[in-house]
Amino acid sequence: MTQPYALTTEVLNGVAVITLDMPGSPVNKFNRGLKDEFVALFDRLERDLNVKSAVLLSGKKDSWIAGADIDEFLELKSAAEAERLSHEGQLLLDSIHEMRTPLVCAIHGAALGGALEFALAAHYRIATDHPKTVLALPEVQIGLIPGAGGTQRLPKLIGVRAALDMILTGKNIRAKKALQIGLVDEMVHPSILRKIAIQRAHEIAEGTRRHVKHSGGMSGFLLDENPAGRRIVLKKAREETLKKTGGHYPAPLAAIEAVAAGLNSGPSKGYREEARLFGEMAMTEVSKQLIFIFFATTALKKDAGVDGVDAASVMPINKVGILGSGFMGAGIASIAIQQGTVVRMKDADHGRVAKGFGAVREILKERLIKKQITRTQMSDTLSLLGGTIDYSGFESVDLVIEAVFEDIDVKHQVLQETEAVIRPTAIYASNTSTIPITKIAEAAREPDRVLGMHFFSPVQKMPLLEVITAERTHPSITASAVAYGKKLGKTVIVVRDGPGFYVNRILTPYINEAGRLLDQGVAIDAIDKALTDFGFPVGPITLVDEVGLDVGSKAGKIMHEAFGERFAPPASMQAVVASGRYGRKVKKGFYLYDEEGKKGDVDQSVYALLAPGARETNATSGSQLQARTEMTATEIQNRTILPMLNEAARCLAENVIRSARDGDVGAVFGFGFPPFRGGPFRYIDSIGVAEIVRQLEDLNDRFPGRFEPAELLLSMARRGERFYPES
């Protein structure tokens, strides 16, 4: 079946104006069909002597080209096949660069991955000064490297330091920054993009305008333009990448090697190394897991969260009331107003409301400092936020988000007070992290309009939102909350009600087991290091210090009451909480903190508070030294991670989560389960269900009751099943 034409061309006074608009797709993507169409078009233009130059525009609204079609990567069966794909892309873009007819890329909207590599091969680049216009090489985020010449052309265009920063982080570059570093030649208003692009194409063809290489100044001369400086830059990049990734992600290091090959041995060697390394990366397990995460989150963006609800019954949310102006309430308010929502924030007194306003202002100020918004935009955004100590203004809200103290009586009181004021059509959502929504809804006049919207801290940075459905929550209410969560930029999973919901439920046994290791005398930093070595962003002891031991203790009590002895809190954790050490927020926890709250070394004095087995001392030379229990990193990892995996399987069996996919995304985005391992269920598959069961049974023999394998795992092991079919 022939692919419908995506490219249309109009020749205006010697300029071929090419418009790319892929039929039936919301965005333009490079695939084999489009590449073939480009080859045929440029071959035709090269032979048409009436055409002197060309312009490439997008026919999509606010999007240029979203990059390569990642579906095609899944079809690759070997490193050699992936290397060949890379080489073909390099040849195509090289032919564009060598064309008789110079090409101007007129970029409005996202130019990502292969799209930016395409633009790098062109002769002139113009970008619009618009929030949707971003340029990036995000391949490392799916375990790959740029494979169509990006590692070779970008350093030549903007210098090795700026190029490595883009390639190794995958971060978006806005038009203004792109102009400053020489990534684009001009920045214009969207309304004149076409006109200016055609004009520049005329000028380039006539020889009156050309691309001018960006000067990096003295530092550019010292570090980008000479071999000694480049060696220093590359060495530092390798060191920092290893430190940041812990060696778990091979793609960033491969990208550095591809860049180095071109700089040190010339373009021919550089392109060969890029293609070879692209082929290698495409076959890594890390890339497969990261691509899974990419597809899972993409699918969730299209998922309404509930079956049988049509778009017409999804309620538009334009005004939100927030109960509580503390850390969470202010964080929710900050992301809501940035999406154009009018927000009314309530607290008990003016001082607390003012403090909440200050917290929101600081979040926006951070964006201002990073030049992500202007002062005018900041002022306009803050104008959407109002405050109150009563319920004035709540009578017109579409959604109320409650973020008050984790106490069921307090939550019942504010629910009843709020329902007396809001419209009967308004949605009421609790941001509770552990209390069942059904229990909160017992006090509701309209329980079918009550659900949970569990944001994660800090709200403005953490990507996940759990939408929790209670027993009587109406499906249209769930769908409306999911839609609004997506509008706020969150990755949303729908979770069935229950203590701890999904993320905190599987996190609790992980934290508890870390506490039991403390009970046995294992060193605090040894526990944390074992888990960061596994791939977590922070260890479990650091995590409870960050969240707050008092918060964790209250949540742990609720979980213990709900699930019994397998969730019993460890003695050491309880002792530290009882001493008033609540973690970073009071600058006193398991670790030392400076006045700004920056974490230091382990606070050795905390060992005196721990369980008897954890605070034994040896007298040596008249001093008291802590005698710590030696334990291998593997043992620490198994003791903490296996109960988490086990609980995740229970959640799936109990329909707390709708699918293994949701469970994996929730763990990765909710608390940083290592993305390169794919999430709890993908990780179980990679080890093998039967092997996970065997390890759990071995631990349960040693510690009866805490590691008893979930029935789902036992039945899957007997039948040789996986959570995901073999790829």
> Which sequence positions are flagged as catalytic?
466
Adjacent-strand bridge partners of 388: 346
* Sign of the CA dihedral with 635 first, then 636, 639, and 641 last: negative
Map residue 67 onto helix, strand or coil: coil
Strand 491-496 and strand 464-469: the pairing is parallel
Rg of the chain in Å (alpha carbons): 28
139's enclosing H/E stretch is none
Q: Which residue from 651, 358, 303 is spatially nearest to 490, judged by alpha carbons?
A: 303
The first and second tokens of residue 685, run together, are 């598959």
Task: Give bridge partners of residue 345 from the DSSP assignment.
Answer: 322, 387
What's the sign of the alpha-carbon dihedral 20, 22, 27, 29? negative
Instruction: Report the C-alpha gap between 547 and 407 in whole angstroms.
Output: 17
Residue burial 179-202, b: 16+ Cβ < 10 Å; e: rest: bebbbbbbbbeeeebbebbbebbb
**How many Cα atoms occupy the beta-carbon half-sphere of 73 within 13 Å?**
29
CB atoms within 10 A of CB 26: 10
CB hemisphere CA count around 47 (13 angstroms)? 5
Burial class (CB in 10 A: 0-12, 13-18, 19+), 626: middle
Please name the amino acid found at residue 479.
A
How buried is residue 475: exposed, middle or buried, by Cβ count under 10 Å (0-12/13-18/19+)?
Answer: middle
Q: Nearest-CA neighbor of 705 among 548, 564, 575?
A: 564
* The pair of three-digit structure tokens given for residue 343, joined into one six-digit string: 């927000």
Torsion of CA 434, 437, 439, 442, to 10 degrees: 150
487-499 as b/e: b if 16+ CB within 10 A = ebebbbbbbbbbb
Chain center to CA of 30? 24
The encoded tokens of residue 162 equal: 């700026």
Q: Which residues contact 106 (CB under 8 A, 6 or more apart)?
A: 55, 56, 57, 126, 193, 194, 196, 197
CA 162 → CA 154, 216, 243, distances in Å? 9, 10, 19
Q: Distance between CA 727 and CA 720 in Å, rounded?
A: 16
The answer to whether 517 and 639 are in contact (CB under 8 A) is: yes
